[in-house]
Amino acid sequence: MTSTTASLAHAASGGWIAPRPKLVPATRGSATKINSTAPEAPNETTALLTLFRAHAFEQHFQPGSTVLLHGDTADAIYLVVSGTIRCCTVDSEGHRQIFSFSKKGEFVGISDMDIWHFTAEAVDHVILKSIPRSTLEQELAVNMSLRQEVRAYVRALLMRRERQMLTLIIAKGPDRLYQFLKEFAATRSGTGHVVLPMCRRDIGDHIGLSMEGVSRAFSRLKRQGLIDLKSHDRFKIVEDTDRTARPRPQLARA
């Protein structure tokens, strides 16, 4: 046993017996409103959504269960109705990298063609709409605007990954956390406190910090008055009234 953290990560990601999701026909007209500024789907996706409205079935997932597994045949595509999904890869030594948290109105699995190149797991209780990949492929063959949408969508994913790489290298821990929180809060419409569905380790595997590092970064952001941390999973970005005054919103030594 090389490391306890590694085995823990493994247990949380792939070791569990995934609860079989119950297949339920989608309730027609259940109005899944799409936030077009959502991080993983920043473009117009009317054609894709139309596809989901026409053919989708709903699936429920327990917290921690596996939605799709790296290496399996990619025979469906998904749309998150509620809850949060983490998309990640795990290397041979148990290290995990979470590329994105997919929330309400965001797609999962659009980029792959034959085999999943990543793993998706439910963070909390998740409801998903899914349609067979064959349906997508058939429609792609005849629907020009759908093709453009999918192309723009994958291109946006690529840009996002490159931006993530850049910030991983440049920004220090607290800066990365702040960016993540700001982005996360932006997808939530309300003005009150935002609830974080994922744990510290998940956040760490997303922004490249250890669990403890995330905790320290939270404390520092709170101490500096950049966030209002009500409880360990409820926060609010403190509006910076004079952002133009300070040349760099970088972190002070405090």
Partner DNA sequence: CGGTAAGTTGAGCCGTGTCAAGTTTAGTGG
Partner DNA sequence: CCACTAAACTTGACACGGCTCAACTTACCG
Which positions lie near its own copies, rule CB under 8 A?
Answer: 89, 91, 93, 95, 97, 99, 111-113, 117-118, 141, 144, 147, 150-152, 154-155, 157-159, 161-166, 168-170, 208
Which of the choices its own copies, DNA, none does residue 233 contact, using the CB cut-off of 5 to 8 A by kind?
DNA
Binding residues for DNA, total number by CB under 7 A:
27
Of 115-123, 144-152, 178-186, 205-213, the segment contacting DNA by CB under 7 A is 205-213
Report what 210 binds from DNA, its own copies, none; CB cut-off 5-8 Å by kind. DNA
Between 74 and 211, CB nearer to DNA: 211
Picking from 70, 27, 61, 53, the residue whose alpha carbon sits closest to that of residue 135 is: 53
- Residues 165-204 close enough to bind DNA by CB under 7 A: 172-174, 199-201, 204
CA–CA distance from 65 to each of 60, 89, 148, 201, 240 (Å)?
10, 15, 33, 17, 39
Residue 89 interacts with, from DNA, its own copies, none (CB under 5-8 Å by kind): its own copies
DSSP state of 41: -
CB of 150 to its own copies, least distance (A): 8
The token pair at 160 is: 């996002």
Cβ of 119: how many Cβ atoms within 10 Å? 21
Q: Is the Cβ of residue 109 or residue 204 nearer to DNA in the bound state?
A: 204
Strands laid side by side in the 126-132 sheet: 23-25, 57-61, 126-132, 76-82, 107-108
CB 224 within 8 A of CB 188: no
Task: Say if CB 154 and CB 112 are below 8 A apart.
Answer: no
Q: Which does 7 bind (CB under 5 to 8 A by kind): its own copies, DNA, none?
A: none
**Which residue in 66, 178, 75 sits closest to 131, CA to CA?**
75
Residue closer to its own copies, measured from CB, 155 or 234? 155
The site partner of 211 among its own copies, DNA, none (C-beta below 5 to 8 Å per kind) is DNA
Q: Minimum Å distance from CB 27 to its own copies?
A: 32
Name the binder of 151 from its own copies, DNA, none, CB < 5-8 A by kind. Answer: its own copies
Q: Is 7 helix (H, G, I), strand (E, B) or coil?
A: helix
- Smallest distance, its own copies to C-beta of residue 101, A: 15
CA-nearest of 122, 131, 24 to 75 is 131
User: Which one of residues 42, 55, 208, 236 is an interface residue with DNA (CB under 7 A)?
Assistant: 208
> For residues 146 and 164, what is the distance between their CA atoms, to the nearest angstrom?
27
Radius of gyration in angstroms for the set of CA atoms belonging to the chain, rounded to a whole number: 19
- Residue 205: which of 253, 241, 168 has the closest Cα? 168
Residue 250 binds DNA, judged by CB under 7 A: no
Q: Is 5 among the residues that bind DNA (CB under 7 A)?
A: yes
Q: Residues interacting with DNA, by CB under 7 A?
A: 3-5, 172-174, 199-201, 204, 208-219, 229, 231-233, 253
